[in-house]
Amino acid sequence: MDNFTYFAPTKFVFGRDTQKRAGELAREFGGTRVLVVYGGGSARRSGVLDCVETSLREAGITIFEMGGIKPNPTDDRVREGIDIVRRENIDMLIAVGGGSVIDTAKGIACGALYDGDFWDFYCGKRPVERALPVGVVLTIPAAGSEGSGNSVITLREGAIKLSLRTEVALRPKFSIMNPELTESLPLYQTACGIVDMMAHIFERYFTNTPDCEVTDRVAEGVLKSIIIEAPKVMARPDDYQARANIMWAATLAHNGICGTGRREDWSSHFIEHEISAVYPEVAHGAGLAAVIPAWMEHVAAVNPDKVAQFAERVMGVATHEQDEDEDELSLLDAGIAIHRTLSTAEIAANGIDRLRQFFRSLGMPYDFGSLGIKEPDIPALVAALHLHKGNPIGAYVPLTPADTEAIYRRLL
């Protein structure tokens, strides 16, 4: 296990009706003039936006609004928010929505206190030293931004989607999480969120750092819980308890607890981010559903050990199979059990098959065609990927352009 610092200071307020506490929590963290950021309409339709704003007003807070944030959010909306914050002397951002809304609020929160261009933070020119406080009212369990210090924004010019990572500066001060608010999610978005939260665990689980038994078991436990709860949510969207488990799993998947003490990978995310940057109609989780099994097959050919561990402990793959060879039948008749031990590569392959089937059972896409991408420009995706993320990418198996091209080609 490597040395690590784990500091995740978000106050999570979880359960029914908790959105009514927005005013009290905003006050607790110093909000007096608040910019409420939200998406394309679901928050207004469901009534959560009204409820949050009523709570803020009752707490004596002055409200400004910025709505219409689209999935895979872009720099122009961050710039617009920075202008509002400066003009109106805003002292807190409250995001009502999912990753796209939260990440926009985070971009505004750090950009507004910086004299230069906020994109400097995202492209790694400057570290974030200070930011306005951000509060969250979460409506979709997926990106984990409610508990992470990260924000992902796409620069429209050049379709460059980059992830800004901070240890503390951009962690929300508080996150309100009412599972009931997620009942209005379309099944497709629910499934995309399930894939994304699993991906956040995979990026931390597939590592060569040895002796992380506790972190491994935490990660495996959360993954197994997701696999148990996901079909319940898909079958009965109003199953509060299943929704609650899925919602909390998404936060634990990405607040750092599943990565303590080890080197992380992140290549599946990098490979996917290029897809949703160029094709913004592709939901991040849907892109991951196609990319992850292809990535796993590619890396398992080189380094199958951890994939086999995942297959066995999480996907329930057997490590032995009964040998039904004709010659052995007499031994079986005599009551002597004949078992063949599967190779590590076979166990890994069976685990990947089961994962693929699981994603398919959620109705997720599995290749470019099912993602709605007719003629992907793979050389352009590969070139942009390594230009933005370096060469090689990833750590479990470092991937060169030849590798990432092969992974994209598996999706044809």
Residues binding ligand NZQ (CB under 6 A): 39-43, 46, 71-72, 97-101, 103, 139-140, 142-145, 148, 150-152, 181-182, 184-185, 189, 193, 196, 254, 269, 284-285
Partner from Zn ion, ligand NZQ, none binding residue 289, C-beta < 5-8 Å depending on class: none
Q: How far apart are CA 229 and CA 241, in angstroms?
A: 9
Q: Does 196 bind Zn ion (CB under 5 A)?
A: yes
Residue 141 or 304 with smaller CB distance to ligand NZQ: 141
Partner from ligand NZQ, Zn ion, none binding residue 40, C-beta < 5-8 Å depending on class: ligand NZQ
Q: Does 312 bind Zn ion (CB under 5 A)?
A: no
Residue 55 or 150 with smaller CB distance to ligand NZQ: 150
Half-sphere exposure of residue 288: CA atoms within 13 angstroms, side-chain side: 26
Partner from Zn ion, ligand NZQ, none binding residue 142, C-beta < 5-8 Å depending on class: ligand NZQ
3-state secondary structure (DSSP) of residue 390: coil
| Residue in the shown chain whose Cβ atom is closest to Zn ion | 196
Given the DSSP bridges, would you call strands 174-177 and 11-14 parallel, antiparallel or unpaired?
parallel
**Residue 105 C-beta: closest distance to Zn ion, Å:** 17
Binding mask 216-255 for Zn ion (x = CB under 5 A): ----------------------------------------
**Residue 349 C-beta: closest distance to ligand NZQ, Å:** 26
- Sign for the CA dihedral angle at 366, 370, 373, 379 comes to positive
Token code pair at residue 299: 């890396």
Residue 59 or 102 with smaller CB distance to ligand NZQ: 102
Residue 285 or 293 with smaller CB distance to ligand NZQ: 285
Partner from ligand NZQ, Zn ion, none binding residue 140, C-beta < 5-8 Å depending on class: ligand NZQ
Q: How far apart are CA 365 and CA 369, in angstroms?
A: 8
Strand partners of residue 155: 160
Partner from Zn ion, ligand NZQ, none binding residue 182, C-beta < 5-8 Å depending on class: ligand NZQ
**Residue 273 C-beta: closest distance to ligand NZQ, Å:** 6
**Residue 266 C-beta: closest distance to ligand NZQ, Å:** 9
Residue 98 or 304 with smaller CB distance to ligand NZQ: 98
- Binding-site size for Zn ion (CB under 5 A) equals 1
**Residue 350 C-beta: closest distance to ligand NZQ, Å:** 27
Task: Give the CA diameter of the chain.
Answer: 86
Can you spell out the DSSP letters for 227-290? HHHHHHHHH-TT-HHHHHHHHHHHHHHHSSGGGTTS----HHHHHHHHHHHH-TTS-HHHHHHH
Inter-CA distances, 95 with 69, 248, 368, Å: 10, 18, 32
**Residue 275 C-beta: closest distance to ligand NZQ, Å:** 10
- Sign for the CA dihedral angle at 389, 390, 396, 398 comes to positive
User: Which of 81-112 are b and which e, b meaning 16 or more Cβ less than 10 Å from the residue's Cβ?
Assistant: bbebbeeeebbbbbbbbbbbbbbbbbbbbbbb
Q: How far apart are CA 237 and CA 183, in angstroms?
A: 6
**Residue 184 C-beta: closest distance to ligand NZQ, Å:** 4
**Residue 157 C-beta: closest distance to ligand NZQ, Å:** 17
Token code pair at residue 242: 């299943």
406 membership: H or E segment, kind and range? helix 401-409
Window contacting Zn ion (CB under 5 A); options: 35-43, 190-198, 220-228, 236-244: 190-198
Binding site for Zn ion (CB under 5 A): 196
